[in-house]
Amino acid sequence: METSFKPVSFLFLAFLFLPNFFFFFCIGLSELHCIDTERHALLKFKEDLIDPSNRLSSWIAHGDCCQWLGVVCHNLTAHVHQLHLGTFYPEGGFASYEQYEAYERSMFGGKLNPSLLDLKHLNYFDLSFNNFSASSIPSFLGSMKSLTSLNLSNARFVGLIPHQLGNLSNLHYLNLHGYRPDDLYVNNLEWLFGLPLLQHLDMSYVNLSKASDWLQLTNTLPSLFDLRLSYCQLRSIPPTSNVNFSSLLTIDLSRNQFENTLIPSWIFGLRNLVSLDLSYNNFQGPIPVDLQNMTSLSHLGLSGNNFNSSIPNWLYSFSHLEFLNLHSNNLQGTISNAIENLTSAISIDLSGNELGGKLPRSLGNLCNLREISLSSNKWSQEISEILESLSGCLSDRLEILNLDSSQLHGQLTDELGVFKNLVQLSFQNNLISGPLPVCLGKLSSLRILNLGKNQFNGTLPQNLGQLSKLEELRISSNMLKGVVSEVHFVNLTSLRILYAPGNQLTLKASQNWIPPFQLGALSLQSWNLGPKFPQWLCSQRRMLSLDISYTQISDMAPLSFWNLSSQFRYLNLSHNLISGEIPNSPVMLSASAIDLSSNHFKGLLETYLHGLGIDVQD
């Protein structure tokens, strides 16, 4: 009986899945491949590209271009619809110099071949973060009428932005963000009239000084919801009574240094805005009261102006605000306890003002906060009291804490250890005293630690050597004493900057020690490194800046030191008793600042260095 039911079951299942069976069968027989003319167009395009890391190795003559890196085809017609050829730029920056070098090497360069015009159905084109520095933006891009998204951001194009881009009437997204100011410029913006569907426009770092009617023209774009014109050398924000920006959600006019001293009133009428950035524009007076009606804001940037009022109480009621930046103004008074009402706040920057008094304990109730920058104010408070007020729900969430130049005093206690996710900690230029707490070595997420210009004493904790993610360590101008050994550096594989002059520390390392790091900058001025020349320096192949002056070295500098492959920009070996011959080294000749005085050097390079005004002996 059992066997007689098997065929029936099979037939039933086959019937049940018959539609899917025929679907996959048909797809298998008629699998779509890219269209020949479009494949040839892409291959011609590749010929004119510079591809140093061979990212386009999959683009081969007889391949299926729909399978090539960066190419997206329509799943029914097989026409090329999208080209994703941007170079990935990490949001948090680079974790190492090697990553930055790899990023630079991976950029496309060369020029754009007009064969792209054969991609009649291309609607998305991304060339962002590449290096076309020898090329201007080609005018033929204006003939690619099917484009809805064009991203040339930070692609290092130079010259005049072609007005032919105004022919792209289907464009929704246009990003022409320049790499450096003045690399790109326009004579006018009248071509914007041809882009009625545009929703996102970014022309930051483009010289728009000749486009005095920039507001009138951008105001004609009915669908615009994102406008970014930062660092565009705009001279003024014209007044207007007729604003059509009903869809606008984001506006960035930062770093233009406008002639206006007051924020124009039409901006306050943009009630739907979620992001407003007017930083570095020389606006003056109190923070405008009309801002209080813009309660939809999640980002407010007013840094680098001349607002001279206290922080208005109404600002604390912005419950949707995630990013608040009032850095570098002349704000006075205190921070109110009402700051706890900024319940959505992720980042608060009030540094560079004249604020004083004590930080309110309610600041510690902002459980979403990840970044606090309160440096260059007049808190005049014990550091332990501040840490205690922040140690509530922020203890396992806070990532950046900056209290530089804040007149802080007292001792740094082990309470700091509760902030387990700190990535950046900076207390530079205060009056903090006592020993460095051992808990510092337990902050395993730290990348930047800056405790310079304080009154720390005692020794350097050995467990600092466990901070494998640490990139910058700055402990200059303190009163630290004692011995630093290889243990202090054992796991510092990410360290790139070690800046520790002005202490009385002694480094004891074996002559064959090879550090786990490759430094770009090192300053150990006034340490005791001698009497032998520190051979481990010869392992540092990426050093750009080195200061080991006043370090009691009375030994010959080895040839391997002079042959360092890195190109010094700054070198200071002065006030030691280093001997030996200075070779005619291209490394030496490339440095922009050299001090070899108060040593016992000899060599053929002496005359040349003296001609540059560089002393090599007493």
**pLDDT digit string, tens, across residues 505-548:** 999 999 999 999 999 999 999 999 999 999 999 999 989 999 99
Q: What is the pLDDT of residues 376-405, one digit of tens each?
A: 999 989 999 999 989 889 988 999 999 999
pLDDT more than 90, % of the chain: 79
Distance CA 228, CA 203 (A): 6
Whether the CB-CB separation of 461 and 440 falls below 8 Å is answered with: yes
Beta pairing class for 71-73 and 80-84: antiparallel
Q: Indicate yes or no: pTM above 0.85.
A: yes
Whether the CB-CB separation of 244 and 269 falls below 8 Å is answered with: no
Query: Hey, which bits of 23-86 come out as E strands?
Result: 49-50, 71-73, 80-84
DSSP 617: B
Segment 575-584 long-range contacts (CB within 8 Å, at least 24 positions apart): 575/549, 575/550, 575/599, 576/530, 576/548, 576/549, 576/550, 576/551, 576/552, 577/553, 578/533, 578/553, 578/554, 579/554, 579/555, 580/556, 582/606, 582/609, 582/616, 583/559, 584/608
Mean pLDDT on 329-338? 96
Tell me: pLDDT of 44 over 90. Answer: yes
Which one-letter amino acid corresponds to residue 280? Y
Q: What is the pLDDT of residues 164-213, one digit of tens each?
A: 999 999 999 999 999 999 899 999 999 999 999 999 999 999 999 999 99
Please state, in angstroms and as integers, the Cα–Cα distance from residue 198 to each residue in 63, 189, 201, 204, 224, following that order.
36, 14, 7, 16, 6
Tell me: pLDDT of 586 over 60. Answer: no
Q: At 610, which helix (H) or strand (E)?
A: helix 606-611
Half-sphere exposure of residue 182: CA atoms within 13 angstroms, side-chain side: 0
Tell me: pLDDT of 65 over 70. Answer: yes
Backbone angles phi, psi at 384, to 5 degrees: -65, -35
Q: How confident is the model at residue 2 (pLDDT cuts 50, 70, 90)?
A: very low
